[in-house]
C-alpha cells in the first residue's frame, strides 16, 4: 500500500481545462443583490472558484468519458445496468440494486417503502433531503449522534458516531416496531464531514439486531469515511479503503447512494439492499417516479460512467489526495486563525460562522451572511449549513436552531489545484478582517421545502 508516503500529490494529470472568469466587486454586488444574497441563486458564470458543493461537480476521468460512448440506450435491460449492478455488488457488497437519478431519488424509494405514518427513524444527524423524505413518508427523524458532533471545537476523531445509550433509550421509548430502520451516514455532512468508527457501527449493529431493526447506510461519502477509519482507527492501517468499505457494508442491510459524490459522476444514484421485499417494493415505486427499474431516470451512458466511477473511486491514492486537499485548505485556514470546525472533515472545510461573526445573533443568519460576503469579496462561492438549512419545525413552524452555524467550503473532486486553495484561504482571511462591518441578513422569501436552495434575503 502507498499510504506510508509522507506527502501526497494528485494521482492524475490534467488533460482538459475549463477557463475561469474573474469579475469585479461592482459586478458581484449587483449579482448578489439580484440573487437575494443566496449563493444558490448566483449564475455560475459569475463565480470564480465554485465551492458550493462536491455534488455532481467532480472531474470525470478519460476512462469515464470514454464510457459515455458505450451507452447501451435500450429502454430495458441495458448492459450498462449490468455493469452497475456488478460494481455495486463487488465494492459495496449489496445484492439488489435500483438505479435512481440521484441520492434523493433513492431516499424517496427507501422512505416510502419502509416508513409508516408515526414511525421514528434514528440517524447520526439529519441531512436535509434525507429527513424531508422521512417526514413526507409520515415518519419523524430522531438525532442519535454523539454530543461532540454538535461542538465545533471538540477534536473527537469520530464525531459521526452514534450515542448508543440515546439510541437504545429511543427504541425503548417509541417501541422497536415503530423504528423501521436506523439511518447511518458516512462522513456526516451537517456535522462538518465527520466519520463514524467501525467499532461504533459494530455496536450499533449488535444493538439493532437485538430489536430486529435493519441499518440503512447513507453511502454518499462512505469511501471518505473508510479513509478516516484506515488512518485513525486501531487495526485498520493495513486494510485498503475498498476492504474497509466492504466491511462497513457487511454490517448493514443496504444503502442509499448519491453517486454525485464518492462515485465521481455528474449525475446518478442508487438504492441497494439485501432485502428482497424492499427490492420488490422499490422496483414498483421507481417505475412510477424515476423510470424502469433497470435505468431509474438515467441514460445508459450515465449508468456506465457510474459503474466505472465506483471502481475508480476505490483507490487509496485517490482518496488520500482528495482528503489531503481538503485538509490542506483547512490547515491553511487554521494557520490564519480562522475559526473552522475541527477535525477537518472529508469533503469540505466548514467555517464556524458563529465565531466568525460572534456579534451576530443566529436569527441574522451568520452562515448565510458569510457565504454572501465571501462571494462579494472574491467571487468564491460557498454554502450555508446552519439555521437556513435546518428549516422549520414541522409542528411549531418556528426555525429549527441547530447548534452548528456553518459555512461550507466544499471541494469538488479532482477539479481545483493547491493554488486555488491558497487563493481561497486568502479570500476567507480578507473576509475575516472585515467581519465587524457586517450586520447580517433578513429573510424576504422562503419556499415551502428545503428553503436554503431558493430563499431570498436582504441586508439587515
Q: Which residues are catalytic?
A: 75, 127-128, 218, 261, 385, 452
Among 97-105, 116-124, 397-405, 433-441, the segment contacting ligand F0G (CB under 6 A):
97-105
Among 21-29, 78-86, 100-108, 238-246, the segment contacting ligand F0G (CB under 6 A):
100-108
Q: By CB neighbour count within 10 A (0-12 exposed, 13-18 middle, 19+ buried), where does 312 fall?
A: middle
Does residue 375 touch ligand F0G according to CB under 6 A?
Answer: no
Among 20-28, 122-130, 195-203, 240-248, the segment contacting ligand F0G (CB under 6 A):
122-130
What is the chain's length? 460
Asked if residues 245 and 79 have their Cβ atoms less than 8 Å apart, the reply is no
CA dist list (Å): 218 to 150, 268, 395: 19, 14, 26
Residues 6+ apart with CB under 8 A from 159: 145, 146, 148, 149, 188, 191, 192, 194, 195, 343
CA dihedral 393, 397, 398, 400 (to 10 degrees): 20
Q: By CB neighbour count within 10 A (0-12 exposed, 13-18 middle, 19+ buried), where does 318 fall?
A: buried
Residues 6+ apart with CB under 8 A from 210: none
Q: Where are the alpha helices (DSSP H) in 98-148?
A: 103-114, 128-136
Least distance CB 409 / ligand F0G (angstroms): 12
In the complex, which residue's CB is closest to ligand F0G? 103
3-state secondary structure of 384: strand
d(CA 197, CA 234): 10
Asked if residues 320 and 4 have their Cβ atoms less than 8 Å apart, the reply is no
Least distance CB 222 / ligand F0G (angstroms): 10
Least distance CB 411 / ligand F0G (angstroms): 11
Name which position in 99, 195, 254, 269 contacts ligand F0G (CB under 6 A).
269
Among 62-70, 123-131, 316-324, 437-445, the segment contacting ligand F0G (CB under 6 A):
123-131
Least distance CB 8 / ligand F0G (angstroms): 24
Does residue 260 touch ligand F0G according to CB under 6 A?
Answer: yes
Q: Nearer to ligand F0G by C-beta: 260 or 301?
A: 260
Q: Nearer to ligand F0G by C-beta: 258 or 438?
A: 258
Least distance CB 266 / ligand F0G (angstroms): 11
Does residue 377 touch ligand F0G according to CB under 6 A?
Answer: no
What are the b/e assignments for 378-417, b being 16+ CB within 10 Å? bbbbbbbbbbbbbbeeeeeeebeebebbbbbbbbbbbbbe
Residues 6+ apart with CB under 8 A from 354: 152, 362, 366, 405
Does residue 346 touch ligand F0G according to CB under 6 A?
Answer: no
Number of H helices, E strands in the chain: 16, 12
Among 27-35, 125-133, 176-184, 423-431, the segment contacting ligand F0G (CB under 6 A):
125-133
- Chain positions 18 to 57 lying near ligand F0G, rule: CB under 6 A, are 53, 55
Does residue 129 touch ligand F0G according to CB under 6 A?
Answer: yes
Neighbours of 47 (CB within 10 A): 20
Name which position in 126, 127, 270, 457 contacts ligand F0G (CB under 6 A).
127
Name which position in 84, 185, 404, 427 contacts ligand F0G (CB under 6 A).
185
Residues 6+ apart with CB under 8 A from 388: 365, 367, 368, 443, 451, 452, 455
Q: Nearer to ligand F0G by C-beta: 260 or 320?
A: 260
Q: Nearer to ligand F0G by C-beta: 268 or 300?
A: 268
d(CA 76, CA 454): 36
Cell of 333: 485556514
**Count of residues that bind ligand F0G according to CB under 6 A:** 15
Name which position in 46, 96, 104, 414 contacts ligand F0G (CB under 6 A).
104
Name which position in 80, 120, 189, 197 contacts ligand F0G (CB under 6 A).
189
Q: Nearer to ligand F0G by C-beta: 125 or 364?
A: 125
d(CA 259, CA 272): 12
Q: Which residues pair with 257 in a beta bridge?
A: 270
Among 111-119, 124-132, 307-315, 434-442, the segment contacting ligand F0G (CB under 6 A):
124-132
Name which position in 38, 61, 102, 294 contacts ligand F0G (CB under 6 A).
102
Q: Nearer to ligand F0G by C-beta: 192 or 440?
A: 192
Q: Nearer to ligand F0G by C-beta: 412 or 440?
A: 412
Name which position in 99, 103, 193, 402 contacts ligand F0G (CB under 6 A).
103
Neighbours of 44 (CB within 10 A): 9
Write out the residues near ligand F0G by the rule CB under 6 A. Answer: 53, 55, 102-104, 127, 129-130, 185, 189, 218, 220, 258, 260, 269
Amino acid at each position: 500500500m502507498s499510504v506510508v508516503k509522507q506527502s501526497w500529490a494528485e494521482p492524475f494529470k490534467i488533460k482538459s481545462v475549463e477557463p475561469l472568469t474573474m469579475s469585479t466587486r461592482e459586478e458581484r454586488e449587483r449579482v448578489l443583490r439580484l440573487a437575494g444574497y443566496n449563493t444558490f441563486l448566483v449564475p455560475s458564470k459569475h463565480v470564480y472558484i465554485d465551492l458550493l458543493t462536491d455534488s455532481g461537480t467532480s472531474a470525470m476521468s478519460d476512462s469515464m468519458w470514454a464510457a459515455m460512448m458505450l451507452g447501451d440506450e435500450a429502454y430495458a435491460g441495458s448492459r450498462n445496468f449490468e455493469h452497475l449492478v456488478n460494481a455495486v455488488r463487488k465494492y459495496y457488497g449489496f445484492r439488489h440494486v435500483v438505479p435512481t437519478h440521484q441520492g434523493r431519488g433513492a431516499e424517496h424509494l427507501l422512505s416510502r417503502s419502509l416508513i409508516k405514518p408515526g414511525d421514528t427513524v434514528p440517524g447520526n444527524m439529519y441531512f436535509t433531503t434525507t429527513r424531508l423524505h422521512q417526514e413526507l413518508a409520515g415518519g419523524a427523524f430522531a438525532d442519535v449522534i454523539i454530543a461532540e458532533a454538535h461542538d465545533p471545537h471538540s477534536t473527537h476523531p469520530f464525531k459521526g458516531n452514534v450515542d448508543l445509550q440515546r439510541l437504545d433509550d429511543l427504541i425503548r421509548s417509541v417501541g422497536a416496531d415503530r423504528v423501521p430502520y436506523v439511518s447511518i451516514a458516512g462522513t456526516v455532512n451537517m456535522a462538518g464531514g465527520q466519520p463514524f468508527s467501525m467499532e461504533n457501527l459494530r455496536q450499533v449493529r449488535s444493538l439493532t439486531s437485538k430489536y430486529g431493526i435493519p441499518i440503512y447506510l447513507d453511502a454518499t461519502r462512505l469511501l471518505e469515511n473508510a479513509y478516516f477509519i484506515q488512518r485513525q482507527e486501531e487495526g485498520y492501517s493495513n486494510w485498503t479503503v475498498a476492504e474497509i468499505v466492504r466491511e462497513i457494508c457487511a454490517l448493514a442491510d443496504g444503502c442509499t447512494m448519491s453517486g454525485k459524490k464518492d462515485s465521481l459522476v455528474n449525475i446518478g444514484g442508487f438504492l441497494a439492499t439485501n432485502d428482497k421485499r424492499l427490492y420488490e417494493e422499490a422496483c414498483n415505486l421507481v417505475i412510477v417516479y424515476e423510470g424502469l427499474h433497470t435505468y431509474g431516470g438515467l441514460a445508459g451512458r450515465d449508468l456506465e460512467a457510474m459503474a466505472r466511477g465506483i471502481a475508480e473511486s476505490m483507490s487509496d491514492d485517490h482518496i488520500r489526495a482528495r482528503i489531503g486537499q481538503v485538509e490542506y485548505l483547512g490547515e491553511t485556514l487554521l494557520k490564519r486563525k480562522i475559526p473552522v470546525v475541527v477535525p477537518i472533515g472529508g469533503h469540505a472545510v466548514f467555517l464556524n460562522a458563529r465565531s466568525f461573526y460572534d456579534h451576530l445573533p443566529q436569527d441574522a443568519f451568520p452562515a448565510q451572511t458569510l457565504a454572501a460576503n465571501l462571494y462579494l469579496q472574491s467571487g468564491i462561492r460557498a454554502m450555508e449549513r446552519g439555521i437556513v438549512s435546518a428549516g422549520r419545525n414541522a409542528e411549531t413552524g418556528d426555525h429549527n436552531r441547530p447548534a452548528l452555524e456553518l459555512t461550507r467550503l466544499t471541494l469538488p473532486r479532482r477539479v481545483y489545484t493547491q493554488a486555488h486553495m491558497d487563493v481561497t484561504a486568502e479570500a476567507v482571511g480578507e473576509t475575516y478582517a472585515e467581519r465587524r462591518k457586517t450586520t447580517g441578513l433578513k429573510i424576504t422569501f422562503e419556499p415551502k421545502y428545503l428553503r436554503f436552495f431558493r430563499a431570498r434575503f436582504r441586508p439587515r
